[in-house]
Structure 1
Amino acid sequence: MIEVNELTKRYGRRTAVDRLSFTVRPGQVTGFLGPNGAGKTTTLRMILGLDAPDGGTATVSGVPFRDHPRGLHHAGALLDAQQVHGGRTAAAHLAALARSNGIAARRVEEVLEEVGLAGAARRRIGGFSLGMKQRLGVAVALLGDPPVLMFDEPVNGMDPEGVLWVRGLFRRLAAEGRTVFLSSHLMTEMEQTADQLVVIGQGRLIAAEPVAVFAARAGRPGVLVGTPRAAELTALLTAAGAAVTPEGSAGSERLVVTGLPAGRIGALAAEHRITLHELTVRTASLEEAFMELTAGSIEYRAGEAR
């Protein structure tokens, strides 16, 4: 388990993390979301003891990570796949970490096999693609077979096969009862991988709840209707108590309808002989929810002079 309590970090006048509190529990994948500059990487670094907080605490399995002897047995992490000595081979890199943490040498071969790098074990890391370096970083995190795992943007540079593999790996690790904490900007990955979310903006907590709850409370579910008689159908549905808005520009043939179920919309259209080209129930979108709830916390916006 990871527990963060009133965690604070300042850099001069700027507060990067502001009295942040949340808990990451075992047995599930917890996603860590926030706009660029929200303080995600700084938070992960403080959890791992790489940066000292100016206030508050962060613990792994009940104690600060620095107090764990031979840390890779307690938590594994991938923060930056590029931060590795390019002149070493993958096997040598892992072997050095294994020796310093009291991990059996055979574990090096096991994790290389697990991440799909067994055939590249004797190659120098400097010649690896970013996707291969990400796999090596995952191998480092798994090396000590720890109960807590943290990953910062782990699918960057991975091909579709790699993304599918790592998604399955995270789900399996959580099913084994481990604590899996995953930071990513890819909403589709969070929707397909995470059970819970921790969302921050400008260093402050915005939400800590299940993915479905977060999406539903800020998304705009409804029924998407396509018809060449949009104006007529809009008047009909409004009279029946629905709220209708064009999907896109005014005069669009696609409408978003809330307040009436799809079956009732279809029945009203049929009753008045209005042709429908589309009738689709829209579920809440994690991306819509994220954009709406973090709108006031975005530090860097495209097209804005600063």
Structure 2
Amino acid sequence: MIEVHELTKRFDGTTAVDRLTFTVRPGQVTGFLGPNGAGKSTTLRLILGLNAPTGGTALVDGRPFRDRPRGLRHVGALLDAHVVHGGRTASAHLRVLARSNAIPRRRADEVLEEVGLSAAADRRIAGFSLGMRQRLGIAAALLGDPPVLLFDEPVNGLDPEGVLWVRGLFRRLAAEGRTVFVSSHLMSEMENTADRLVVIGRGALVAAEGVAEFAARGRRPSVVVRTPDPDALAVLLSAEGATVRSEAAGRMAVTGLTASQVGRVAAAGGVVLEELAARASSLEEAFVEMTGDRVQFTAGGER
């Protein structure tokens, strides 16, 4: 279990983490979301004792992680797949980590096989692709067979097969009773993988709850419609106060009216509909709605 209480970190007068309080429990995958610059990576570093907090506490199974001399037996983490010695082979890298944590040498071979890198065990890491480095970082996190695992953007650089593999791995680790905490900016991955979410913005907590609960927070009437006369339908719907947005494959997304209301408007206006369906609010829509006023960096600059 990970317990964060009133956790705060300031850098030169800038507050990166602002009195965060949340709990990550075993037996489930908890997603960690926030806009760019929200303080996710800093929070993970504070949990791992890589940065000292300005205030508050971060405990792993009741103790600060830095108090554990053989840390990989308690927590496995992937923060940056690039932070490895490129001149070492994958096998040598893992064996050094194993030796420093009193982990059996054979464990390096076991985790390389688990992440699909057995064939590259004797290759130098400098020649690895980003996807291979991510797999190596996951192998290092699994090395000590720890009960708690933290991952920062673990699917970056992975191909579709690799993404499916990671998704299944996280679900299996949680099913084994481990604590799995995953930071990601990919809403689709969180929808498919996470059981619960911790969402922050500008270093402060926005929500800590189940995925479905969070998605429902941003729920607004949304309807998908397709017609051979989209311009006419858009005019009719706009006159009723709806917002209409074009989508792929000739579809339109309508907010502000229910599906039955859209159908009645189209029928009254003599517009033929080829498709009409209500659409549930997505995690991404809820995320944008709930964190929109906490975005630090935007396409138009900083705000």
TM-score, structure 2 as length reference: 0.91
1:244 counterpart residue number:
242
Please give the residue correspondences for 1:58-69 in structure 2 after superposition, counting only pairs within 5 Å.
Answer: 58-69=58-69
Letter in 2 for 1:60: V
Alignment of 1:124 onto 2:124: yes
Distance 1:32 1:255, change over 3 A: closer
Letter in 2 for 1:138: I
Please give the residue correspondences for 1:283-298 in structure 2 after superposition, counting only pairs within 5 Å.
Answer: 283-298=280-295
2:259, 2:277 within 8 Å by CA — same for their partners in 1? no
Query: Matched residues in 2 for 1:65 and 1:253: separation?
Result: 51
Letter in 1 for 2:279: R
Letter in 2 for 1:135: R
Bigger mean CA offset, 84-93 vs 217-226? 217-226
Distance 1:139 1:232, change over 3 A: closer
Bigger mean CA offset, 294-303 vs 222-231? 222-231
1:40 counterpart residue number:
40
Query: Matched residues in 1 for 2:269 and 2:300: separation?
Result: 47
1:184, 1:190 within 8 Å by CA — same for their partners in 2? yes
Q: How far did residue 294 of structure 1 move?
A: 1.1
Q: How far did residue 73 of structure 1 move?
A: 0.8
Q: How far did residue 267 of structure 1 move?
A: 7.2
Distance 1:255 1:91, change over 3 A: closer
Query: Matched residues in 2 for 1:114 and 1:36: separation?
Result: 32
1:20 counterpart residue number:
20
1:224, 1:257 within 8 Å by CA — same for their partners in 2? no
Distance 1:255 1:284, change over 3 A: closer
Which runs of 5 or more residues in structure 1 are unaligned? none
Q: How far did residue 7 of structure 1 move?
A: 0.2
What is the number of residues matched between the two proteins?
Answer: 298
TM-score, structure 1 as length reference: 0.90
Q: What is the RMSD computed on CA atoms of the aligned residues?
A: 2.4
2:197 counterpart residue number:
197
Alignment of 1:280 onto 2:277: yes
Please give the residue correspondences for 1:176-215 in structure 2 after superposition, counting only pairs within 5 Å.
Answer: 176-215=176-215
Any idea what the Cα deviations from partners look like across 1:55-98, whole Å, max 9, x if unmatched?
00000111111122311111100000100111111111111111
1:216, 1:284 within 8 Å by CA — same for their partners in 2? yes
Q: Secondary structure at the match of 1:20?
A: strand
Q: How far did residue 269 of structure 1 move?
A: 5.5
Any idea what the Cα deviations from partners look like across 1:117-167, whole Å, max 9, x if unmatched?
001111111111111110000000000001100000111111111111111
Q: How far did residue 219 of structure 1 move?
A: 3.7
Q: How far did residue 247 of structure 1 move?
A: 2.4
Query: Matched residues in 1 for 2:253 and 2:64: separation?
Result: 53
1:230, 1:253 within 8 Å by CA — same for their partners in 2? no
Query: Matched residues in 2 for 1:24 and 1:153: separation?
Result: 17
Letter in 1 for 2:21: S
1:28, 1:194 within 8 Å by CA — same for their partners in 2? yes
Q: Secondary structure at the match of 1:247?
A: strand
Q: Secondary structure at the match of 2:102?
A: coil
Query: Matched residues in 2 for 1:8 and 1:185: separation?
Result: 22
Distance 1:118 1:218, change over 3 A: same
Q: Secondary structure at the match of 1:294?
A: helix
2:233, 2:266 within 8 Å by CA — same for their partners in 1? no
Query: Matched residues in 2 for 1:302 and 1:274: separation?
Result: 38
Letter in 2 for 1:67: D
1:244, 1:255 within 8 Å by CA — same for their partners in 2? no
Any idea what the Cα deviations from partners look like across 1:260-282, whole Å, max 9, x if unmatched?
455x7557856886411220221
Query: Matched residues in 1 for 2:129 and 2:40: separation?
Result: 25
Query: Matched residues in 2 for 1:225 and 1:190: separation?
Result: 27
